[in-house]
Each structure stands twice: as C-alpha cells, then as structure tokens.
A and B are shown apart, each in its own frame.
Chain A
Amino acid sequence: MPNRVKLTVSHAPFWHDGDSVCKMNLTIILAAMPAVIFGIVQFGIPALGVILLAVSCSMFFELMMNFATKRSLSIGDFDAALIGLLFGMMLPATTPWWVVVTGVFVAIVIGKQIYGGLGANPFNPVLIGVAILMVSWPGYFDFDGALLNYEFSHEALAPLAALKHQGVAAVDFFSTTQLLMGQQTGAIGSTFGLGLIIGGIFLILRGCIKWEITIAYIAGIIITALIFNLSDSGTYAGPMFHLFAGYTLFGAIFLATENSSSPVNTIPMLIYGFLGGLMVILIRNLGVYPDGTVFAILIINLINPLIDYIRPKALGRGVNNA
C-alpha cells in the first residue's frame, strides 16, 4: 500500500490534563517566594547565601545520586530544588556553610534517594535533614544566639524560645499582627506569616497541596492550644500565638503536605493533619523542644501508612451477587 506514514501508537487515554511533577514543584517554589524574599530582605545577604547554597547543593547531590544509582536524571522535576529551598527556609540566616551542606546531604541522600527517590520516601526529606542537624548541633537552631548580631526594630527574641524560657509572660512581647508581619526572630522562611498564608491559599486553590491536611493541621493546633490555654492560661500560651510563631504555618503548608509521606484518602488526611497539629502543641507545651513542628511531622509520617488504610470500599467490592 502507498502512503505508509508512521503513526504514533500509544494507549488510552489520549488526553492529559497537562499537569506534571515539574509544574507542581515550580508552583510550590513560587508560592514559597513571598516568605523567602521577605526573609532575605529581613536577614540580608547571609540569608540569600544560605538559600542559594541549599538549593544548589540539593540539586548537586540529587544529580550525584542519579549517577550512583544509575537512574534517569531527575533534577529536571525540581523536586531536589524544592527540598533544598524548604530546607534553607528552615535555617537561621547565620548557619555556617558546612552545616547547610551536611543537612542537605542528609535530606537528599538519606531522606529521599536511599528509599528509591521521588515518591518512595516514607519521611519528609527536608525534616530528616533538619532533625539530624537539630539533634547533632542544637546550638545552630537557637535563633536568639544565632541572630545575636542583628539589629532588629522589633523585640529581638524568638517567640517560642521566649515562651519556653520565660513563660507565658513572653507572649505579651508579640502581638498577632507583629507575628503575621514577620516581626519575630526565626528561620529565614518561616517568620513572615502573611506571606506563608498567601502562598498557602495560592497552593490550595491551584490544587497543588492536599488542603485537607493543611486545614486539619491548623485546626489541630488551634483546638489543642485552646484546650491547654483554657485549662491553665498562666502556663500555656493561646492558640493564635502558637499558630503564628515558629514553624507552625510553614509546617502546615509546606511540610505536612509533602506528597510521598502523607495520606491520600480524605478521612486519613484529616486525621493525619489534626494529629500533626496536636503533636506540635504537645511537644511545645510538655516537651523539651521549644518548637515541636519537626518531630511532630516526622511522627505523623511514621503513622501515615497505618491511617491511610482507612479508605472507602471500591465499587462492587463486597456486593453479593444479586
């Protein structure tokens, strides 16, 4: 027969909604920008340095691991860049370079690649990196010490540390507006509450993060903090303080929603988020760490496979043959 054009043969469906891992990650990176830019303005060139170092090292380690494990190159999906960015955002601006490099190495290699890369990590890689640093060199996460040389116009105290060490009286140093507008001492990307909220709403509307988790997480924070506060307001701070201080919002929007380590069914997502919020307050109010976000989310990562078993029955499953 004449006219033998070679056609593309592939499988249904022949349409796709156009989304991709790369687009999703770029959208999340974009959503993080208000908080990042604010952090750089607030903390200056050192903050920029930390962020850039974290992102570039992250992509470099990812590439090295791609070669080492002979998998196809995956830096193009920007997942490594996102991990680096989020990691950098959780550090104080003065973190020494070797701490950044070590943390990113742990995040990418131990947090992600060892399990088989994208989608296979049971824990949030960023948090694995941060947790190791927190345990190994806790001094660098003492924001007050780390940022001693800065001249701030606002009260130069990290709110949660102040709460831990000085008790509830410290809460009065910070008004909710101040916290929202980033008038607090803390990590590069976690102080600008308003920026984080804008980014979060953007991501929820775009459908890039699981909104159920974010909402339930915030509900968990508010409800648990309120219960503590009502039971003894002389010892425990109120919910609004907890919501806007430290890593809370950052955790609710960017950390707890990490795809691979979180559930996909509605009820499990709600339980997962709520437990996360609950754990944060428990650790803050009863534990030794001023901020419980890192360990709280690692704990819910751990129970994720268990709760994600709660799912609706599939169509036609368990129906008797009528």
Chain B
Amino acid sequence: MKLLTHNMLTSKCLKGVSVGYPLGINATEVTTSVVDFDPEFISRLIPKLEWHALKQASDIIGEKGYLPEALIADYENNEEFLKKVHHALLEIEVVSGNLVCPETGRSFPINNGIPNMLLNEDEV
C-alpha cells in the first residue's frame, strides 16, 4: 500500500463514524520501490491530497521531517519538492500492518501490500 492510497482511504462506511479520516497506520513491514518520476502527474495529484495526512504518514512510515509541515507555494516549478512528494506518495510501500479507524479503533489489515477494507454486515 502506497501512501497515496492511505491518503484516500477512510472508514466513513462504518456505522456511527462521522469522518473516519485519516486512518492510523501500524506497519510491520515497509519497503521502497522505484517508480518513474513524472513531475506533471505529481503536480496534478497534489490538489487532491490532504497534505497533513500525507506529512503525518510520511513521518511515521518514512523518515521524520522528510516533508515540510505545509504544502509550499509554486510547487509546480519546484522539481526537488515534487521529487520528494513523488517518493513519499508512490515509492514507500507498506507490505503488512494495519490501518486504524480514528473514531472506533476498528483495524483493517494490510497483507501482501493490499489493505482489506471489507466490512461485516453488522458494521454498516
């Protein structure tokens, strides 16, 4: 599971949960891969992200302080910054662990790099 995926997932489908975001991450195995860098694609993704959630996830799973507290202005023209975002979003992979609902503590297992977001019938 890439951090881009973490940035999009929520537990809002659970009964009684109002926001369900961001999900906590407990990682037992993390790896990094190499993904082709496309500055235009990263620039296009950035407006869709919750920066704070990405920053937090990158601090926990990657290297603390690797991303700045706030999104910088004029990022489209800052290749160095875009490369960092690229790395954090697409190259860090959680192979196994859990995602945790911030409101109920319900945990969603990640196995083989795939988060399992399925709910039981009595949970919806």
Is B truly associated with A?
no
